[in-house]
Structure formats: structure tokens, C-alpha cells
Structure 1
């Protein structure tokens, strides 16, 4: 019997994915403190974000799909860490998994986040990227476990750096050596 993980395929994101990727992100905006955006987006408003992640170079967008249905299960990105030129060899990474692919029973075990990060870091191999950084709003044990599994190490916490849903949130920062 094939494993659940074999049912997940990962590929570069394309413009046709925009509506589904926006819907996934909007869930996190509305329902969680995982992102500090507070207003939902239309796909058209997210288009510049998608276009800033080409199929080559250090800023990537990888999309996980169900191998059978091609339904989008989540995405991972590597984005500029900071705008100043000396930061060009560093990226900030993130993973967003569709709610239906991450809650309850068997779908949780599909390894969507793992498949996405595995593909993202393979795509970044050979690029001019020295370090990857990830900020994880706390608490988020699943994201922390994923990042530790991929060799990220904890470097510090920004205390009460974000305010959403009437409270302050900490962000723990992790880094990974890429080269």
C-alpha cells in the first residue's frame, strides 16, 4: 500500500494557482496569528507577491498538490529577508498548509509541510543563498517541529512584537545554514 506522502506532489507555483493560494492565506489571516496580516486579499491583490517568486533564483514558490485530484494542499516560499543589498544572500522561508490538508485524522499525516520544505531547499541548492530564516508566531508546535526537522536552530524571540485578535504575540526566530 503506498504511503500517504506519495500522494503529495510538489511543483513550482504558477499564475493559475493564485486563487487557491490566496484562499489558503486568507484562512490564516482570518483565523490565526500565524501571519500578522489582518485584512484578507483578493487574488488580484496577491498577484505581485506571486510574480515576485519566479521558477529560478533564490525567491521561490513551491506548491503541493494531491497527486490524484491536483487540489492544492499548501505552499512554501523563500522570500527576501530584508530589502538592503547586503541581505541578498539570506531568505525568509514560510509554509502554509490548507486547512483541509492539516486537520483531523489521516490528512495530517500526509507530510505536506515536509514535502514542501524538502522541494524548496532542493530548489535553493546551488543558489547564492547562505542562510534561511523563519519567524514562527508562538505558540506553534507543529511549525517549530517542522523547522527543527529541517535543521533550523533557534536564535531568539521577539517578545510581544505583533498585535492581533486583541492580544500581543511573540515570534521565535530560527535560522538554517544553506551553504
Structure 2
């Protein structure tokens, strides 16, 4: 009997409760996201609807035998039209499923899909310290472009964010 494997796939609306659960873990326990209040499934619906199976803004999940382990997204980088070929990437994994390669798998798939979607550059912000995320981005060819010092305040302290970029279609 074959073991199931983690496979990336486009997110479905019925995944939204699980995606919200995963995200809220990070809202409540880490500075990885600068949201400070948990979000609701209804409140995340607009975010979900901004992502499509085709185009620049995508949402993939890591599926392991019907269980969603996490997700990765490409979203609008900035609202002005000249930025449209640049996107911001994010990846969130359920805390019990980190360290098994699902984040790398999702990012690789997302980058492959964006290669044909009129995307020129991808960006990612990493709240510091977060050595695992820094390693992930560097392993996929992202280059650091700087650190915004004390840019966000959460849990009574200020946090730095390191920004990474990479071209699409580059190894």
C-alpha cells in the first residue's frame, strides 16, 4: 500500500474554515502576522475571493490525504496599477505540520504557476526573528533587500521585518 503524499492544490471554499483556523493560531500566538485580533471565516471570505485558480493572485493548500496542512498565497503587492506584475507571497502551516517540507512544496508550486501569469517579481516579508522562514526564502532563491526596523507593534513590543525578493522564472 502506498503512503499518501503531500500535494499542493488550489484552495476550495470548503477549505476556508481550516485556513482561518491555521491563520488565527499565528494571530494569537506569534508576531508572524501583524493582525492582532482573530479573524472569522466570514471575515476571511473577501480575502479568499481575491485569489483565483488562474492569474497573479493564487491560493494553494498542502493536502495530505484530505487534511489541509497549510497554505501559500500570492496577493497584491501594492494597489497602484504599475505594481500589478509584482506580488507578495505568504505561507502558513498548521503548527503541528511545520518542518516537514510542506512550506517549500507550496512555495515551489506557487512560483512555478506564477511563471506563466505575467508576474515579474515576488516579495515576502519575514517578521524577525524567524530563522526557519529566512532559510526557506533563501533556499528558494530570494534575496534580502532590507529590514524595516520596529515597523510593527504587537504583544507590547516592536518588531523588525526583513524583506525578500526574487524574479519569477529564476532558479
TM-score bracket, normalised by the shorter chain, equals: over 0.9
The C-alpha deviation readout for 1:41-70, integer Å capped at 9, x for no partner, is 11011000001001000100010011x3x1
Task: List runs of 5+ in structure 2 lacking aligned partners.
Answer: none
Q: Within the alignment, does 1:33 sit opposite 2:31 as a pair?
A: yes
1:76-95 counterparts in 2 under 5 A?
Answer: 76-95=72-91
Look up the match of 1:100.
96
Task: Determine which structure has the larger helix proportion and give its number.
Answer: 1
Partner SS state of residue 17, structure 1: helix
The C-alpha deviation readout for 1:106-139, integer Å capped at 9, x for no partner, is xx3x211011001101111111110000000000
Look up the match of 1:145.
135
Q: CA RMSD in A?
A: 1.5
User: Which residue, 113, 130, 133 being the options, matches 1:123?
Assistant: 113
Instruction: Report the CA distance between 1:20 and its aligned residue.
Output: 0.1
Normalising by structure 2, report the TM-score: 0.95
User: Which residue, 57, 69, 76 being the options, matches 1:73?
Assistant: 69
Number of residue pairs aligned between Structure 1 and Structure 2: 169
Normalising by structure 1, report the TM-score: 0.91
Task: List runs of 5+ in structure 1 lacking aligned partners.
Answer: 103-107
C-alpha separation in 1, matches of 2:112 and 2:157: 37
